[in-house]
């Protein structure tokens, strides 16, 4: 997991930064992740995964892309086991809604079983969820940019590279002011033994949003799956 350990240095005017985030566009994306760690045994271990991510108004939908044969095999084994079934949130789409009162509603849509599972606040730890709306909405907290150095490097239109070095780690963010998201996040140790990269590709919004396709889903609470 990426580690963003920045002090919030005010290298830019807070009013100017806030103005950039007043209008947040709706968009759909494809996100690719790559994580590489070289252990003390000299073996380099790499992880790659992708997800679909969508932001519309005060709702954010994210879904890991799992090859159908693997998902089918997992569910066939999981569902065949007798007894109580636990909920595997990693195999479902995450749906976060930001309420007018500032609170968050967390639900998972399991298309395999046609179940919509709500997670109460006190059970966020069960699914590893951190209720940080700015990070959920923008993929990284935009306030981090205030503590980073803007770079004069080649970048796509309406985007700019930012960099921060702290201790033995360097982090770079390619921020899109057009889409209000990072197009790239890179984090690496200066010795080269750890690295992380997230790359975001904007896509067209679908004609029908995923949370509009949940008719017939059984509404459950995460605690319904507890022993």
192: left (phi over 0), alpha (psi -120 to 50) or beta: left
Q: List the beta strands (DSSP E) in the chain.
A: 27-38, 44-56, 59-64, 93-98, 104-110, 115-119, 149-150, 159-166, 169-176, 181-189, 194-203, 218-221
Q: Is residue 144 part of a domain?
A: yes
- Number of domains, the chain: 1
Say how many Å lie between the first and final Cα of the chain, rounded: 30
For the stretch 191-201, pLDDT in tens is: 999 999 999 99
- The two tokens of residue 70 are 């693997």
Give Cα 6 distance to the centre of its chain: 19
Residues 6+ apart with CB under 8 A from 104: 96, 97, 98, 131, 133, 136
- The two tokens of residue 10 are 């005010």
Q: Is residue 6 part of a domain?
A: no
Domain region containing 20: 14-225
Q: Give the CATH number of the domain where residue 77 resides.
A: 2.50.20
Give Cα 73 distance to the centre of its chain: 26
* Best CA proximity match to 2, nearest among 202, 206, 139: 139
* Residue 59 confidence (pLDDT): 97
Q: Is residue 81 part of a domain?
A: yes
Q: Is residue 177 part of a domain?
A: yes
* Residue 75 confidence (pLDDT): 83
- The two tokens of residue 141 are 């907290």
- What is the total residue count of the chain? 227
* Residue 84 confidence (pLDDT): 59
Q: Is residue 2 part of a domain?
A: no
* Residue 9 confidence (pLDDT): 30
Please give, one letter per residue, the 3-state secondary structure of 79-124: HHCCCCCCCCHHHCEEEEEECCCCCEEEEEEECCCCEEEEECHHHH
Q: Is residue 205 part of a domain?
A: yes
pTM: 0.85
Question: In tens digits, what is the pLDDT along the chain, a chain of 227 residues?
Answer: 333 333 333 333 333 344 344 589 999 999 999 999 999 999 999 999 999 999 999 999 999 999 988 988 888 887 777 665 688 999 999 999 999 999 999 999 999 999 999 999 999 999 999 999 999 999 999 999 999 999 999 999 999 999 999 999 999 999 999 999 999 999 999 999 999 999 999 999 999 999 999 999 999 999 998 87
């Amino acid at each position: 997991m990426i580690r963003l350990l920045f002090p919030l240095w005010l290298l830019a005017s807070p009013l100017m930064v806030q103005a950039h985030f007043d209008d947040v566009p709706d968009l759909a994306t494809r996100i690719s992740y790559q994580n590489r760690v070289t252990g003390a045994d000299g073996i380099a271990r790499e992880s790659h995964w992708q997800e679909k991510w969508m932001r519309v108004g005060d709702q954010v939908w994210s879904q890991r892309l799992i090859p159908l044969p693997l998902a089918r095999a997992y569910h066939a084994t999981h569902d065949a086991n007798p007894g109580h079934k636990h909920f595997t949130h990693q195999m479902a789409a995450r749906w976060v809604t930001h309420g007018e009162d500032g609170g968050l509603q967390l639900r998972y849509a399991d298309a395999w079983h046609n179940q919509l599972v709500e997670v109460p606040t006190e059970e966020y730890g069960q699914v590893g969820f951190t209720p940080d709306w700015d990070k959920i909405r923008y993929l990284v907290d935009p306030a981090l940019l205030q503590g980073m150095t803007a770079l004069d490097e080649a970048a796509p239109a309406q985007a700019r590279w930012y960099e921060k070095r702290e201790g033995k780690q360097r982090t770079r963010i390619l921020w899109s002011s057009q889409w209000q998201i990072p197009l790239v996040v890179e984090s690496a140790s200066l010795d080269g033994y750890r690295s992380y990269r997230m790359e975001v590709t904007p896509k067209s919004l679908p004609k029908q949003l995923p949370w509009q396709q949940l008719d017939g889903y059984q509404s459950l609470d995460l605690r319904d799956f507890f022993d």
